[in-house]
Amino acid sequence: MSNDLVLKMTGLVVKAPTGATLVDHVDVELQRGQVLGLIGESGAGKSTIGLAAMGYGRGGCKITEGLIVVDGISLMEGTRETREAIRGARIAYVAQSAAASFNPAHRIGQQIMEGPLYHGLMSKAEAKAWMLELLHALQLPDPETFANRYPHQVSGGQLQRAMVAMAMSCRPDILVLDEPTTALDVTTQIEVLALLRSLIQRYRTAALYITHDLAVVAQIADRIMVLRHGKMVELGSAEDVLEAPKQDYTRRLVAEREASIAGEQAELKTGDMLLEVKNATAYYGKKLVLSDVNCHVRRGETLAIVGESGSGKSTLARIIAGLPPHSSGIITLGGQRLPGSYKQRSREELRRIQLVYQLPDVALNPRQTVGEIIGRPMKFYFGMTEDQRKAEIARLLELIGLPTDFAGRLPGALSGGQKQRVCIARALAAKPDLIICDEVTSALDPLVAEEILKLLRELQDELSVSYLFITHDLGVVRRLADRTMVMQKGRVVETGTTKAIFEPPYEAYTKQLITSVPELRRDWLDDILKARVAG
């Protein structure tokens, strides 16, 4: 390998435990300081390639063919000790789900410092100073205090930024970035993208950037590889792939991204009042996280809640579902007041509100099959027999676009997008009145996300189900939501019809969110950073 070539993968083949081919003879070359974007639909093989770059196959997957060389060292021919010495120190991985990657029993700062200490790269004092510097650069609040928190004590977006810090802790030669901004709001995403780009340029770090967001990859990638069904569809410079795609599949991805930015306003619906939240206030310990929040959702309506990471969106969803933290206020469903805790709610009250979590890795039991996961609500709420459950499980799997034989698979054998669809099917199994959707499309590629949105709209029209839709994807809001509520620091900034929210004149914070949505052009990030400096 040349001095600048740090990663070379030739003829890579990865197979699932079932024998299915996940990656089919893919070649990858990566130079120092270069970013290769891997894009494609859920299950295309993007994450599998990223993990294979570390000589690793998850969930029993095996690298059956190919050559993998990291900075002159063959991972397939080397020993286990050789691979372990490279992982973390020479090549680091930022996972799609930070919550599933942090140890819940250890403080965040300790876990960020663990890499350089384990590999003997820094003293404890040096590792701590570098850890705090990274937390500060990633704009995490009060780095000293943040470092002493446990993973469950911070928001999903904050934990994802902490994972970027953990990956950079050893100053690796190669970063495998697997949807590193998926959990971030649009304003924070800008800062993380700018930081990643500056770190890559400063240390000449090479990176594989795995994402389904073309506008994001446009800001950071030098080259783009388009994948589908485990095969390479197209490879070229970022400019060529985004501005003049050669393959039909790539053109569809580009067209869908442009359509999602423009958005098509959802038709405004009205119906009987279903959910009302009055004067909701919530604390984590002594920390105020929600302050006097009021909102409502009518039957058959979608209310979108948007705002930056830590604004209180998911906390509001939790208290509506009867989950911690401690809160005060009044929540009514169909005119009947709900107890504050799920433990005090009747089985019928529990059935009527279902929650689809932001992080499917955390929400799904890795030891249960897909069929067991989807079938549990059927048994719990309706007492269905085994034959009835099997038939309903098959119907729901078809409804969400997964083969019926997925019922026998474990979550570890599924892609991130497939896991999220299973979570949606589990919620639908309870036949609820209200589904709280917490970033349900964030893990999906644009084409699959559009299919899920279409499915949600069809279900709403057919069943008059209501959605409380938490997201940082403003394109999704435009297309799905009847009304939108903007939150910041635990308070409601404004509420109105989605059409009114997205038309000028804007409230200042809402304008900041709207202008922070990435555009499908290479110089967008530079322009937005210059505007912030000037403004």
Q: Which residues of 457-487 are buried (b: 16+ CB within 10 A; e: fewer)?
A: bebbeeebbbbbbbbbbbbbbbbbbbbbbbb
Dump pLDDT digits (tens) for 84-111.
Answer: 888 888 999 988 777 778 999 999 999 9
- Give dist(CA 483, CA 42) in Å, integer: 29
* Omega of the bond leading into 104 within 30 degrees of 0 (cis): no
Maximal CA-CA distance, the chain = 70
Helix (H) or strand (E) holding 361, with range, is: helix 360-363
CATH assignment of 273-503? 3.40.50.300
The pLDDT score that the predictor gives to residue 468 is 97
Residue 448 pLDDT > 80, yes or no?
no
Where in the chain are the domains? 5-90+173-262, 100-171, 273-503
- Give dist(CA 149, CA 202) in Å, integer: 30
> Rounded mean pLDDT of 491-513?
93
Dump pLDDT digits (tens) for 157-202.
Answer: 788 889 989 998 999 999 999 988 876 778 878 888 888 888 888 8
Task: Quickly state the pLDDT bin for 265 (edges 50, 70, 90).
Answer: low
Dump pLDDT digits (tens) for 400-420.
Answer: 889 999 999 999 888 777 888
Helices (H) and strands (E) in the chain, counts: 21, 20
Distance between the two ends of the chain, CA-based, in angstroms?
Answer: 46
| Other beta carbons less than 10 A from residue 94's beta carbon | 25
At 109, the amino acid letter reads G
Helix (H) or strand (E) holding 168, with range, is: helix 156-168
> Rounded mean pLDDT of 456-469?
89
CA distances from 492 to 60, 120, 306, 520 (A): 46, 48, 10, 30
Nearest Cα to 396, choosing from 370, 417, 361? Answer: 370
CATH assignment of 5-90+173-262? 3.40.50.300
Q: Say if 5-90+173-262 and 273-503 have the same CATH topology.
A: yes
Q: What is the pTM of this model?
A: 0.78
The pLDDT score that the predictor gives to residue 269 is 60
Which residues neighbour 483 within 8 Å (Cβ) at sequence distance 6 or greater?
301, 302, 303, 304, 495, 496, 497, 498
